[in-house]
Amino acid sequence: MTPSPDWWRGAVIYQVYPRSFQDSDSDGVGDLPGITARLDHIASLGVDAVWISPFFKSPMADMGYDVSDYRDVDPMFGTLADFDALLARAHELGLKIIVDQVLSHTSDQHAWFKEGRTSRDNPRAGWYVWADPKPDGTAPNNWLSIFGGPAWEWDGTRMQYYMHSFLTSQPDLNLHNPEVQDELLDTVRFWLDRGVDGFRLDACNHYFHDARLRDNPPVKRSGAHDVPDSNPYGFQEHLYDKTQPENLLFLKRLRALLNEYPGTVAVGEVGDGDRSPATVGLYTSGGDTLHFCYTFDLFGPEFSGDHFRKTVGLFEKEAAEGWVCWAFSNHDVMRHVSRFTRDGDDPAAIAKLAILILVALRGTICLYQGEELALPEAELAFEDLRDPYGIRFWPAFKGRDGCRTPMPWQHDAAGGGFTTGTPWLPMSDAHRALAVDVQNDDPASVLAFYRTAISFRHAHPPLMLGDILFLPATDEILAFTRTHASGTMLCVFNLSREPRTWRLPHTLPLLTRHAFSCADAEISSDGVMLPPLGYLFAV
């Protein structure tokens, strides 16, 4: 049977952070053979695809998001042959592989940048964003780097500034240059020819800058979910340093390339503050741009019915013709069990309710390695940090290492079963107690619950593909229906720590048969009665 080209609609994706998943050679750093060895675990969850964070050749200033060669694997992670073996094994298990492609910038160690910075008239002189200083020698404008300080770095050879949206060692590519677009698309083709199933496009709304280099104005609205409050990057409205109209034409070129490889997909990461819903709508509508987009909008600490209604509802409105990928955790944010848990909560109960909300939402969903174990954020000392972002903003912001610590496979093994060497980040003792071997055969574990929840989603077309309609409720209750040609499913969640009753709207057809519910949940013609952190699905 030929796989559906729309396999990604409603799919469940599992994100692997290679440095921290499984080490196969005892150097303390995870690698591609390690991922291959653990693919059976991922397949046991019932997910459809694996997104692998960057493994390209890199000096690792930003842990691989600073690429120095798009067509090779960094020796830290293995070889191209190791990647081919991983891909083949994943496909044997029915898993698709999505590669994390970083096209907005490279490492300053990339051959393109090394050549381009030698003069203003070499063949790659226009491949990056270069600009003359102001008459007083200061930077061309007020743009800021997400990782702190100005988005401009002086180069004494060219006597110009170059733009970097992230680290100074991550110069931004100039996609206004057609040669740059052509070369980047050729690097994408390289991986398509190896058989990958798609790409997660890092910072995809950063591909273009305003050619006139206009200053960004001060922020007028709150809600920049992509940076901590302590970062001055959030003080600006980013009207000119990203999300430019030229980006749409490049995304269409990228989609046209993927169309040559049926069944492959492009998912764009969009961090655009309050503009994210509109940007996602623009980037995923029309059938000739991205297949779907991944957003930061559920990465905050809010865990309430009102927050989910407003956030998802806004995307339903602004991206009605497109498709969204929802997630609660990834390699850049505090793990959601720690964000959502209050004093006195059972973290396992929070983890179980959170995955049920995720599998009930309309869209594709993404899980981050370790969340199926209900791992909390790891506490690290400053001297253990490896993340330049955290080191720069410590102590107001502790960085991203707390969610990047090694995966615990065996609770009593050296290195937690992740490595027989010294792990690149410390293995958390709290994580050891939640290791895979502790939970794997326990039917009451969070790991078992994840498998059940994902299977439940796949078994019910309304959850995979149905429309979503939010129903009136208090802030503590989240209630909606998912409707498909095969039927309607009612989804109700109590996000409070007290029992709650939700009254059924008169307009709602009576759906009283439990499809899936917690203990002590009840439904009648009067309403749904739920215990604290309870849930009920009815048909």
CATH number at 471 reads 2.60.40.1180
Residue-range definition of the domain harbouring residue 498: 466-538
Residue 151 in any domain: the answer is no
Residues 304 and 382 grouped into a single domain: yes
Which pLDDT value is given to residue 513? 81
Each residue of 319-328: pLDDT tens digit? 999 999 999 9
Residue 302 domain-assigned (yes or no): yes
Residues 512 and 371 in one domain: no
Q: Which residue has the tokens 């692997």?
A: 16
Question: Strands 527-530, 522-523: parallel, antiparallel or unpaired by DSSP?
Answer: antiparallel
My answer on whether 527 and 403 are in the same domain is no
Same domain for 185 and 230?
yes
Q: Verify that 279 and 425 share a domain, yes or no.
A: yes
- CATH code for the domain in which residue 248 is found: 3.20.20.80
CA atoms of 276 and 8, how far apart (whole Å): 21
- 384 with 255, same domain: the answer is yes
The answer to whether 374 and 433 have CB atoms below 8 angstroms apart is: no
Catalytic residues: 202, 260
Residues 299 and 199 in one domain: yes
Domain boundary among 457, 482, 515: 457
Is position 147 within any domain? no
Specify whether 388 is located in the same domain as 514. no
Whether 338 is covered by a domain: the verdict is yes
Q: Are residues 527 and 414 in the same domain?
A: no
Question: Does residue 375 surpass a pLDDT of 80?
Answer: yes
Amino acid residing at 480: F
Residue 481: half-sphere exposure toward Cβ, Cα within 13 Å: 16
Instruction: Encode pLDDT of 251-290 as tens digits.
Output: 999 999 999 999 999 999 999 999 999 999 999 999 999 9
Residue 414: is its pLDDT beyond 90?
no
At position 119, the amino acid (one-letter code) is: S
Q: What is the pLDDT of residues 173-222, one digit of tens each?
A: 999 999 999 999 999 999 999 999 999 999 999 999 999 999 999 998 65
363/500 same-domain check: no
Where does a domain end: 427, 457, 487?
Answer: 457
Residue (of 122, 209, 189, 195) closest to 157 by Cα position: 122
**For residue 499, is pLDDT > 70?**
yes
User: Would you state the pLDDT for residue 1?
Assistant: 47
Summarize the confidence of residues 425-441 as an average pLDDT: 97
The β-bridge relationship of strands 500-503 and 292-295 is: unpaired
The rounded mean pLDDT for the chain is 96
- Count the domains in the chain: 2
CB 439 within 8 A of CB 460: no
Report if pTM > 0.95: yes
Pairing mode, if any, of strands 160-163 and 152-155? antiparallel
Total number of residues shown for the chain? 539
* One domain for residues 222 and 75: yes
Q: Given pLDDT bands bounded at 50, 70 and 90, which one contains residue 432?
A: very high
- The pLDDT value given to residue 229: 84
Q: Is residue 231 included in any domain, yes or no?
A: yes
Q: Are residues 450 and 516 in the same domain?
A: no
The 3-state DSSP class for residue 137 equals coil
